[in-house]
Structure 1
Amino acid sequence: MLLAIDVGNTNVVFALIDGRAILGRWRIATDPRRTADEYAVWLLQLLQFQGYSPAQVTRVIVSTVVPRALHNIQVLSNKYFHHDAWIAGNAPVEWDMRIDIEQPRSLGADRAVNAIAAHARFGGDLVVVDFGTATTFDVIDADGTYKGGIIAPGINLSLEALVNAAARLPRIAIEPPRNNGSVIGRNTEDAMHIGVFWGYVAMMEGLIARMRTEIGRPVTVVATGGLAVLFHDHTTIFDHVETDLTIEGLALLAERVKD
């Protein structure tokens, strides 16, 4: 079995995969100071709860956008699973796709993995929207070439900045406004919900419309990340929602490595 690990700025996601089937997935807050032993105490128990053992893990692959967290993940793989972790983007799991931007080395691993997975799944011209700490919009052409994209503040990050900068604004949950679709708030919380939620929807719809115009060909829009499902119910811009796109991309990269 494959243990796929996606280290994001907010969470680290662990997924146990057999072939293409995801048998279990678990997440923990990202903390570069977390040791391999701390990961193991948490992860090994979760594996056991679902009836799996470390001995069943035969390969480990890691995608990370937090370089400081990588060492302890590598120690975890060696010490508790007895395998060297493959690092996505490095031998033997290179991207194997053309990256047509000014600084190819600057492309985040999560964005590259998403691009590979989306191209393998859907083909054609694509825009991949990933709801993470940042919200990213990535363009992949029909040949599988990564062409560039957009990085915008994530909705939670935007809300946190708003609350921290304005002393009298309350903390609110990320959810659709509860005012029958009106965009005129009658109280502070409603006004914040409208600004954060519908403002974010308008930003996504506007950016994707501009991207479609610039690409000039039919485009499939794929959404991933924790909040993708929430927004999918309130806009028509997404053709597909694939919450496990990054994990699927890691599994695909691992499949390409010959025994």
Structure 2
Amino acid sequence: MILVLDVGNTNIVIGIYDKKDLITEWRLSTDMFRTADEYGIQFLNLFSLSKLEINMVEGVIISSVVPNIMYSLEHMIRKYFKIGPIVVGPGVKTGINIKYDNPREVGADRIVNAVAAHEIYNKPLIIIDFGTATTFCAVRENGDYLGGAICPGIKISSDALFQKAAKLPRVELLRPSEVICRNTVTSMQAGIVYGYIGQVDYIVHKMKIEMLELGEQDILVVATGGLAKLISEESKNVDIVNPFLTLEGLRIIYEKNKKQVNYENIRA
């Protein structure tokens, strides 16, 4: 089995793969103040509840956009799983060619998503990841990662409205049936959700124009992340929602780099 970890600013998404099959998936809150042993206890409990044994794990791969958490996580993996994890970053084989001015600036999650979408769909791509920040990535059919755009995530935008406007309440992120609303809560929901849908569609439209100018045709728009379904249901541009795109990308990158796996101790 392969253990894959996608460390985001809000959540750590964890997947267990048996070859190419995702057999279970968990989410933990990202907390850079937890120790390696605290994370170890959480992982042991998750494995126990799912009736899995940690000694069944033959490899671990991590992508992270939270550098301060990595010491605890890597130490936990070595201590409890007896394996040196692969960490997505410079020197790791991905199969894509990053055209960023400084390739080291590209978030690991964006690279992983690009790897997965390129491998799975094999088309010119626009990938939208609805996380703490929303990222838009453009990938050519040949695997060139061109770059993209980053904007505040929908939850950040919603929280900012609540925190900065004294009389406005915190609201649940739901899509009202109308835009002309008759109370404060649904008015806020309409503005946040439909406004965000408009932002997504406009950015995708502009990215498609720029990719068409490069000769890319039949561009596929793939969405992932926690709020992908909410936005994609109304968007005119999203073709596919793949909630496990990042986990798939981690599995694919692991397969390309599994010779790097280092067993810290030989199991009896």
* TM-score band w.r.t. shorter chain: over 0.9
- Cα deviation code 1:175-220 (max 9, x no counterpart): 111xx3x322211112101110100001111111111112113210
After the TM superposition, which of the residue ranges 184-193 and 103-112 deviates more from structure 2? 184-193
1:193 and 2:189 are equivalent in the alignment:
yes
Partner amino acid, structure 1, of 2:59: R
1:10-21 aligned within 5 A = 10-21=10-21
Query: Are 2:93 and 2:257, in contact at CA under 8 Å, matched by a contact in 1?
Result: no
1:195-214 aligned within 5 A = 195-214=191-210
Corresponding residue number in structure 2 for 1:171 = 170
The CA deviation at 1:257 is: 2.4
Runs ≥4 in structure 1, deviation > 4 angstroms?
A: none
Partner amino acid, structure 2, of 1:201: I
In 2: Cα distance, 1:202 partner to 1:90 partner: 35
Partner amino acid, structure 1, of 2:251: A
1:1-259 aligned within 5 A = 1-91=1-91, 93-177=92-176, 180=177, 182-216=178-212, 217-259=217-259
In 2: Cα distance, 1:255 partner to 1:140 partner: 21
3-state SS of 1:256 partner: helix
Q: TM-score when scaled to structure 1?
A: 0.95
RCO higher in structure (CA 8 A, sep ≥6): 2
The alignment-based identity, stated in percent, is 40
In 2: Cα distance, 1:51 partner to 1:90 partner: 35
In 2: Cα distance, 1:94 partner to 1:69 partner: 23
The CA deviation at 1:20 is: 1.2
The CA deviation at 1:231 is: 1.9
Q: TM-score when scaled to structure 2?
A: 0.92
Structure 2, unaligned stretches of length 5 or more?
Answer: 260-268
Structure 1, unaligned stretches of length 5 or more?
Answer: none
In 2: Cα distance, 1:258 partner to 1:169 partner: 51
**CA RMSD of the aligned region, Å?**
1.2
